[in-house]
Each structure stands twice: as structure tokens, then as C-alpha cells.
Amino acid sequence: MDRKNIPRATVRRLSLYCRYLAEIREQDIEYVSSRELGGGIGTNAAQVRKDLSFFDRFGTPGRGYPVGFLHQRLEQILGIDGRRWQVAIIGVGRLGSALVDYGGFLKHGFHVVAVLDSDKKKIGQTVKSLTIEDVADLKAVIERSRVDIVVVAVPAEFAQRVATQAVDAGIRAVLNFAPATLILPEEVNLRHVDLAVAMESLSFHLIR
């Protein structure tokens, strides 16, 4: 099974299945059918079975999927089992600081190990026991802290530069919050969280 050939949409749903399974696991439910699992994340039974079939035969015909086992396997597949991904956040504005102590990071195996900014007034201050470092030292910080994932939370006009520097320093995964399109080498994993795009798509569909 080559991870490159898995549909993006499937990976997205894997996260949602995983979250749903965590919830019903708490309720000591032992088996879940593809229909229930699909309903729980807003898709259908066939989609669930197809998604899971990319990886293995997790289910038992006539019964469904064993909740605990499937949950555990999905965490392995997503790479959030035990493992700790080292995250650096660049840009400590409103959004950046909200992200630093966003509980969700730690909970799911992501660990913020560095915070950077270009503002001399911020450099040296601490956020959640992390000292804000100079973005000019990005490469050194990435290497020293063994950063896996870079979160870009700087103003739009600096986003491309910062992202390129991160990639030059060896980074292969970038999560961009800046309202800007980043152009990076094909092999770099890039995700956008774009408020403007989301709002405008709502606006588009509200008309008429």
C-alpha cells in the first residue's frame, strides 16, 4: 500500500473516523457498522468500506468493525500513535499565539517545540514556556529542535519567503494560515487553512 496513492479525501475522512471512534470507544461500544460510522461523520456506508479497504480488512462480516482495534490501527496509519511530531510556529500575532497553546496540538501527538517572529520586541519573550526566537535563525532552530512541521502564521506578504526558507532548511511539511498562495516544490506537503476562502465560498452560495 503506497501512501502516495491514497485519495486526499480518504485521508481527511480517516481523521474523522478516528475522532468518531474515540468518542464511541468511551461509551464501551464494541462494534460499529460501516453505516453507523459513515453517519457519524456525514458520509455513507460504501464510502467507509472503500476508504478502509485501502489499508486492510478490519471488519467482520455480519458484525461490523471492532471499535477499539480499528481506532488503534487508524492512529497508527495517521502517524499519531505514541510518536511525537515536532512543530515550529512562525509568527506570534493573534493567530500564532492562539495556536501555541491550542490544546489540540499536544493531545494528538503534535508538540510545539519552537516559536519564532521577526519583531525585535517579541523576540526573547516567552509563550507557554517557549522563548520566541528570531526568524532570521530559522534554519538553525529547525535543525537544533529537529522540527518536522512548520506552521506559517505570519502576514501574507512574508509567508512565501518564510515557507521557502523552511523548505531550504529541510522541512517537508507546511501548514499555512496566511492568506496567500504558497508555491513550494511538489514533494513538500502543504496544507492551507484559509479563512477568507472559506468565508467567500459561504458568501458565494448565500447569493440568490
Partner DNA sequence: CTATGTGAAGGCCTTCACAGCG
Partner DNA sequence: CGCTGTGAAGGCCTTCACATAG
Binding residues for a second copy, rule: CB under 8 A, are 3, 6, 8, 11-12, 14-16, 18-20, 39-42, 77-80, 85, 94-95, 97-98, 101-102, 104-105, 108-110, 148-149, 172-173, 175, 179-183, 189, 191, 193-208
Question: By the 8 A CB rule, do 89 and 99 touch?
Answer: yes
For the bound state, the minimum distance from the C-beta of residue 67 to a second copy, rounded and expressed in Å, comes to 17
115 binds, among DNA, a second copy, none (CB under 5 to 8 A by kind): none
Run of H or E residues at 66 = strand 65-66
What number of residues does the chain have? 208
User: What residue ranges bind DNA (CB under 7 A)?
Assistant: 7-10, 33-35, 43-47, 49-50, 52-53, 57-65
For the bound state, the minimum distance from the C-beta of residue 75 to a second copy, rounded and expressed in Å, comes to 9
Q: Cell 461500544 sits at which residue?
A: 29
> Based on CB atoms, which residue is closest to DNA, 43 or 145?
43
58 binds, among a second copy, DNA, none (CB under 5 to 8 A by kind): DNA
Question: By the 8 A CB rule, do 114 and 154 touch?
Answer: no
For the bound state, the minimum distance from the C-beta of residue 162 to a second copy, rounded and expressed in Å, comes to 17
Please measure the distance between the N-terminal and C-terminal CA atoms of the chain and give it in whole angstroms: 46
CA 29/CA 108 separation, integer angstroms: 22
For the bound state, the minimum distance from the C-beta of residue 31 to DNA, rounded and expressed in Å, comes to 8
Q: Cell 509563550 sits at which residue?
A: 127
For the bound state, the minimum distance from the C-beta of residue 30 to a second copy, rounded and expressed in Å, comes to 22
> Based on CB atoms, which residue is closest to a second copy, 58 or 85?
85
| CA angle centred on 151, ends 146 and 153, rounded to 5° | 140
Question: By the 8 A CB rule, do 26 and 58 touch?
Answer: no
